[in-house]
Structure 1
Amino acid sequence: MLAFTGPDILVTYERTGGFAGIQERVTVDDSGTAAVNDRKITLSAGEMRGLRTALNGIVTTWSSTAGCDVADHFTYTLAFRGHRATRCWLPSDWRPAVERLEALTRR
């Protein structure tokens, strides 16, 4: 799986679990290059602006096990701005960023 590390990383997103045992990982660097599972893509300037705006709306930066007691749940992890949080229930402030990141997995 492709992965980026280092100070130029804007965000890393992971979604795992579910009935099918999904494992998705998206890492976007500051220049707009993304590692999406096993492939590399480039985000447009508009996509980067939208992603940055969505990330700026996130205030939930701590992990929680709420929702993890449901069978076949998904686990969501976001790492950005020095924070890394994992949740089984997707907070509403994460939704705009997660929708943009998950859209990259369908490109």
Structure 2
Amino acid sequence: MLATTGPDVLVTYERSGGFAGIHEKVTVDGTGTALVNDEKVVLDDAQMRGLRRALRRVVTTESSPAGCQVADHFTYTLTYRGQSATRCLLPSDWRAAVERLEALTRR
């Protein structure tokens, strides 16, 4: 079973909220095994390289309530390199990583 916390986890991403009240969670370990909404997915080498490259661009590591006062907003939580941040407005430096992680939820 894939660990969802601990040193083997590369990144955890969650998106929740919106009009439909969705909750998506993606956890990827260092070997390329992901748990996507409780389903196991294996990333190939190219996907892992792209994800790691996108994650290296992440510099926003603090949570912010900005944008949370909007009705039916989404909340984004990214945990990477031992730091977790929650935002209601997606920081631009998260965008490439989030796009890759959300693509896994549409497989």
Shorter-chain TM-score: which interval? over 0.9
Compute the TM-score of the two structures, normalised by the length of structure 1. Answer: 0.96
Q: Which residue of 1 aligns with 2:18?
A: 18
Is 1:50 the equivalent of 2:50?
yes
Runs (5+) with no aligned partner, structure 2: none
Residue matched to 2:80: 80
Question: Which runs of structure 1 show a deviation greater than 2 angstroms over 4 or more consecutive aligned residues?
Answer: none
- Length, aligned pairs only: 106
Please give the alpha-carbon distance, in whole angstroms, between the structure 2 residues aligned to 1:6 and 1:82.
Answer: 9
Give secondary structure in 2 for the equivalent of 1:71: coil
Percent identity of paired positions between Structure 1 and Structure 2: 74
Matched, 1:106 2:106: yes
Deviations 1:52-91 (A, max 9, x none): 0000001100000000010000000000101100000000
- 2:97 aligns with 97
Residue 31 of structure 1: aligned partner: 31
Q: How far has the Cα of 1:6 moved from its partner? A: 1.7
